[in-house]
């Protein structure tokens, strides 16, 4: 009879008995270099606006960006993702403010690149903050989202942000074929080193609500959904097809979004493809946890590290999270 795996020869608790051995055998670990901090920006000066559904995350005016950037760099966070709060009078059906060279995002990119060139800048390619209807793409008179016409606008937007100095363009629109078209445009515009982070497995989710509050698209979108372009949450094979296509079209990194309810997708993507896979712990996941912390139903610091480490264990190489600063601080103080 084999003794392998049999009590008392095998006692897994031996390794767990002391702190030194627990630490030595840790598999996935979370570092501040794994984190990306999303920032909501708006016009104006000396302004911070709280967002009720995102406690602890403010929209900030451009002049407040440098202090956020400095904090990220101090904590070892490699990159930030910039999202705009666009004034209602600049929103149009075609979202043309999205490729205004003097718009909010290009101004933010230039400001940050000038002062903090080492901080990675990620910007979304999608129209929802800029459109009167709150959809990520162009809409025809029947309410259909137009794929190919949308891509032309996304290409303008991607070139606008890349020209302003964005390091990473992150198409979050889920139109078919947009990665290839954006890659083509970057190549032929002498922007061949601009990275593309494809929101490849982006599900039509109820967890985006607080984000839509933060960018001001909750009212413009109304009760309409995004099911005709974002993935059905019942499907994982289709998510893998999306990832495969985006890799073929020239993505440098891919993303799964949301995070916590989609860890199986993170795992499946990282097992199947040899490409860095990012995960977005989205606004609703953050809001849900914050509500539990506020009620003292969960203990904040340890819970945040546990959840974020779960993404690493599933195979993610980086995590977009509104907890980035808090998590980096607790990692730093534990070191």
Catalytic amino acids? Answer: 202, 257
Among the listed ranges 12-20, 106-114, 121-129, 154-162, the one in contact with ligand PBG (CB under 6 A) is 121-129
Is residue 161 a contact point for ligand PBG (CB under 6 A)? Answer: no
Q: Is the CB of residue 32 less than 8 Å from the CB of residue 332?
A: yes
34, 97, 124, 213: which one binds ligand PBG (CB under 6 A): 124
> Do residues 54 and 286 touch, judged by C-beta distance below 8 A?
yes
Count the site residues for ligand PBG by CB under 6 A: 11
- The CA-based dihedral angle spanning residues 101, 106, 112, 113, taken in that order and rounded to the nearest 10 degrees: -60
User: Which CA distances in Å does 79 have to 43, 252, 288?
Assistant: 22, 16, 24
Q: Binding to ligand PBG by residue 229, rule CB under 6 A?
A: no
Minimal distance in Å, beta carbon 198 to ligand PBG?
12
Structural element, H or E, at residue 50: strand 48-50
Query: Could you tell me the smallest distance in angstroms from the CB atom of residue 53 to ligand PBG?
Result: 10
Could you write out the DSSP letters of every residue in 126-155?
-STTTBTT--SSEE-TTSPEEHHHHHHHHH
Chain position whose Cβ is nearest to ligand PBG: 211
How near is the Cβ of 168 to ligand PBG at its closest, in Å? Answer: 14
Find the shortest distance in angstroms from Cβ 128 to ligand PBG.
5
143-to-98, 134, 201, 225, 226 alpha-carbon distances in Å: 21, 12, 24, 11, 11
Under 8 Å CB-to-CB from 189, ≥6 apart: which residues? 159, 162, 163
Specify the stretch interacting with ligand PBG by CB under 6 A; choose among 24-32, 71-79, 123-131, 302-310.
123-131
Q: Is 135 in the site for ligand PBG (CB under 6 A)?
A: no
Check residue 54 and report its DSSP letter.
Answer: S
CB of 7 to ligand PBG, least distance (A): 46
Dist. CA 157–CA 99, nearest whole Å? 4
Within 203-222, which residues bind ligand PBG (CB under 6 A)? 208, 211-212
Interface with ligand PBG (CB under 6 A), residue from 34, 128, 213, 249: 128
Residue numbers 270-329 binding ligand PBG by CB under 6 A: 282-283
Applying CB under 6 A, the residues found at the interface with ligand PBG are: 124, 126, 128, 136, 172, 208, 211-212, 226, 282-283
């Amino acid at each position: 009879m084999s003794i392998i795996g049999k009590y008392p020869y095998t006692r897994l608790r031996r390794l767990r008995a002391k702190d030194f051995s627990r630490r030595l055998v840790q598999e996935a670990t979370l570092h501040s270099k794994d984190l990306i901090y999303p920032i909501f920006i708006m016009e104006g000066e000396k302004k911070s606006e709280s967002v009720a559904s995102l406690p602890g995350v403010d929209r900030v005016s451009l002049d407040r960006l440098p202090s956020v950037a400095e904090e990220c760099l101090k904590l070892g966070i490699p990159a930030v993702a910039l999202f705009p709060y666009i004034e209602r009078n600049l929103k149009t059906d075609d979202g043309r403010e999205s490729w205004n060279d003097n718009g909010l995002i290009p101004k933010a990119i230039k400001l940050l690149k000038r002062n903090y060139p080492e901080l990675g800048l990620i910007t979304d390619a999608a129209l929802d903050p800029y459109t009167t209807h709150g959809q990520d793409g162009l809409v025809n008179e029947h309410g259909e989202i137009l794929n190919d016409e949308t891509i032309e606008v996304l290409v303008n937007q991607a070139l606008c942000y890349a020209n302003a100095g964005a390091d990473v363009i992150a198409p979050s629109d889920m139109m078919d074929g947009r990665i290839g078209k954006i890659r083509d445009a970057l190549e032929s515009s002498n922007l061949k080193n601009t990275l593309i982070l494809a929101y490849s497995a982006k599900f039509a989710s109820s967890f985006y609500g607080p984000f839509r509050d933060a960018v001001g698209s909750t009212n413009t979108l109304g009760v309409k959904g995004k099911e005709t372009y974002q993935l059905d949450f019942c499907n994982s094979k289709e998510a893998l097809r999306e990832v495969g296509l985006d890799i073929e079209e020239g993505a440098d990194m891919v993303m799964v979004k949301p995070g916590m309810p989609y860890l199986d997708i993170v795992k499946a993507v990282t097992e199947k493809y040899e490409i860095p896979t990012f995960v977005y712990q989205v606004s609703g996941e953050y809001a849900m946890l914050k509500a539990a912390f506020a009620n003292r139903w969960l203990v904040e610091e340890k819970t945040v590290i546990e959840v974020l480490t779960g993404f690493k264990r599933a195979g993610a190489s980086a995590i977009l999270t509104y907890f980035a600063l808090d998590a980096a601080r607790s990692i730093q103080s534990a070191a």
